[in-house]
Every structure is written in C-alpha cells, then in structure tokens.
Structure 1
Amino acid sequence: MAVYFYGCTTMDGYLADSQHRIDWLHQLGSVEDTGYDDFYRQMDVTIMGKRTFEEIQGLPDVEGFYQATENYVFTHDTSLPVKNYQPVAGDVVTFVKQLDKTKNVFVIGGNSLVGPLLDADLFDVLIIQMAPVILGKGIPLFTQKEGQRFYQLDEVRQFGPFAELVFSRNIEKDRKNSD
C-alpha cells in the first residue's frame, strides 16, 4: 500500500480561503490541464473530509467522480446523498492502517486528515500543485504537530499556470534523524 496526497495550494500554502472556498482554483484552469487523470488511474481508495465532499457534491455529474475507487468521507453523518461514497467516523490514522495493504490510497483533502497522517508518517508520496495565487489567509495544507519529516523531490512539472512538485518519503534521512 502507498498513501498519496494530491492537491493544489496557493503560493502562500492555502488549500482554501478562510471561508473554505476554492473559487480561486476554478478560475485558473481545470483538472484536464494537469496530470490528474494518469495519477487517478493508479488509485484504489479515496479518503476525504466532509468539506471536500461538499465541494465535490456541488459539481456536475458528481456520481461520475471517483467511480473507479472505493470512496470514504470522514463525517459524523450516517449516510451521504451521493452513491459510491461511504461515510466513516473515527480516527483517520487507524482507518488507513486497517486498509488492504495492496491498495493505493489517495487522500484528497483537507488538513484535518493530512495533519494526523503526517504525524503518523503514513504518506509515501506528496504531489502538490502550486497555483499562482496569494490569498493572504485561509485554510493551510499543513497543520501537523511539530516534527521533521524529510521527503525527496522526484519531479517538477508545469501544467498551464500550475507548478507541480512530486515528493516521496526519504526513509534514509528520517532514519538518521531518529537515531
């Protein structure tokens, strides 16, 4: 199993504005302008928070989104209004650790899931696209506890106005720093 984050931030590191909106992202381009489709074909499971699900829920043809994967939404709701999405409650770290070890897991968003998974050192790959926007304040991508995690830069690509950085876990450097 490999755990991936794939998402877009502003130049100042925000996933969304302070009202949890990503209007700025939709103004810059679409998923077709990126390598997203190739990435998604490799995934077996998606995990997202309720706010991310609510953003997806408002898109046209929502039932067509993520139809090739098992999709879990961390929420207190016991059911969701869209087929193919399963509500999950509890600890995201425990949930990810119990998943089938042969599956690739795509953490879609947000920081309430990313932080605990970083704290538990469960991300294998971070694919971060940077949009040419500065918000000044908003919802940051990284909110984990203090602690160093080293990643190596594997690739830098440009998709239209977006810069995409692909990082993988640097196990050797983490091991040396924990000694």
Structure 2
Amino acid sequence: MKQHRNVVLFIAASLDGYIATKDDSLEWLFQVDGEGDNGFATFYETVDTVLMGKRTYDWIMEQDMQEFPYKNKQSYVFTRSSVTEMENVKFISDDVSDFIQHLKHQEGKDVWIVGGGELLHTFLQEKLLDELILTVAPTILGDGIPLFKKGDYQLDLFLKNTKRFNQFVELHYKVKR
C-alpha cells in the first residue's frame, strides 16, 4: 500500500461536458457502443475508497440494484444534512479539505470521486484533485448537469494517457502542482 494516496475523478461525460441530463438521466451513456466495461474494472482495482455527494448517493440508491455497488470499498458521502448511518456508507459533514488531507495521508490505495458536480466543484476550488480520468462519449446533450461548474479556480493538467474503448475516448490527466 502506498503512503500518499491520490484523489482521482473517474467519470464519463458527453462531448459538450455534461454528466447527466437535466432530469439526472444517464440513458444517453448506455446508448454508446463501448468496449467491455470501458476500463472500469481496471480502474476500480486501484482504489479502496469512494467519495460522493449526497445527490449522487441518492441517485444510486434509487436505482434497481440488489446491493450497494461499492460495498467492498470504504464509502463516504458528503452531506450538509444529518443522516442516519448506513451499513456500507459513512456520512461526512466535516470540512471537505481537512477530511481529504487526512485521507490522503492514510495508508491505502487511491481515492475515487464518484460524483457529482457539486462535490467536484469543491475539490477543484480547494485544489484537492490529483488526477482526472474522463471518458468522453460521442454525444452532445445541449443541456444538463455540467461536469465543471463555473467558479473561481484554474487547474493545469498534464496528459498522462489516452485510450479508446470503441466509441468512447478516455483522457487521463495528472494535475500539475
């Protein structure tokens, strides 16, 4: 296990930068011809911790799944409201920056930001992101939930790698420090 863990965004977006439609639908994503799991399983083995916002968590829980999809990982949900603890999830209302700095210095694998846009926005403003793996779908939505919200931040990136999964293109960036 490594000592300094990276915080990594692994996410898919439309060509025009949306992660979901206005009504939180991802159906457009499943209409694109991919290749296998589009690199998900390989990436999933590199992390032992997943982070998400409450809205993303609620969306996951509304899906018809037999069980929580990340039950074999340490899962944290950032929320401003008080929530009863769940079996596979810890709800966090602490300062995001302090919490992430603590996580980064624990021994373990990398930390995955599952979503969503609000949480990512905080990570960008606080400069907490180390890597970004963006899988671009050849779809233009025109409107929806943006991957990157407008804000007072700038991130300079270094392109580490690209991969093609049939119609998807994966762009892997490291944040320049």
- Report the TM range for the smaller structure's normalisation: 0.7 to 0.9
Answer whether contact 2:7 2:104 (CA < 8 A) is retained: no
Alignment equivalent of 1:44, drawn from 48, 54, 60 = 48
Answer whether contact 1:116 1:144 (CA < 8 A) is retained: no
Q: Which deviates more, 20-29 or 103-112?
A: 20-29
What residue in structure 2 maps to residue 69 of structure 1?
A: 73
Alignment equivalent of 1:133, drawn from 139, 151, 161 = 139
Letter in 2 for 1:61: Q
Q: CA, structure 1 residues 67+130, in 2 after alignment: closer, same or farther (shift >3 Å)? A: same
Gaps of 5+ in 2: none
Q: CA, structure 1 residues 131+137, in 2 after alignment: closer, same or farther (shift >3 Å)? A: same
The structure with the greater share of residues assigned to helix is 1
Letter in 1 for 2:47: M
Answer whether contact 2:34 2:168 (CA < 8 A) is retained: no
Determine whether 1:108 maps to 2:114.
yes
2: CA distance, partners of 1:61 / 1:32: 22
Query: Once the 2 structures are TM-superposed, how far is the Cα of residue 120 of structure 1 from its aligned partner?
Result: 1.4
2: CA distance, partners of 1:90 / 1:22: 30
1: CA distance, partners of 2:160 / 2:118: 26
Letter in 1 for 2:172: V
Answer whether contact 1:46 1:106 (CA < 8 A) is retained: yes
Query: Once the 2 structures are TM-superposed, how far is the Cα of residue 100 of structure 1 from its aligned partner?
Result: 5.0
Q: Which deviates more, 84-93 or 39-48?
A: 84-93
Deviations 1:113-152 (A, max 9, x none): 1111111111111000111111111111112523322111
Larger RCO, structures 1/2 (Cα 8 Å, 6+ apart): 2
1: CA distance, partners of 2:95 / 2:22: 25
2: CA distance, partners of 1:105 / 1:38: 14
Query: Per the alignment, in what secondary structure is the counterpart of residue 103 of structure 2?
Result: coil
2: CA distance, partners of 1:8 / 1:100: 24
Q: CA, structure 1 residues 71+13, in 2 after alignment: closer, same or farther (shift >3 Å)? A: same
- TM-score in terms of structure 1 length: 0.84
Alignment equivalent of 1:35, drawn from 35, 39, 44 = 39
Query: Once the 2 structures are TM-superposed, how far is the Cα of residue 52 of structure 1 from its aligned partner?
Result: 1.6
Answer whether contact 1:56 1:62 (CA < 8 A) is retained: no
Answer whether contact 1:111 1:142 (CA < 8 A) is retained: yes
Percentage identity across paired residues of the two chains = 32
Answer whether contact 1:78 1:87 (CA < 8 A) is retained: yes
Gaps of 5+ in 1: 172-179
1: CA distance, partners of 2:6 / 2:174: 10
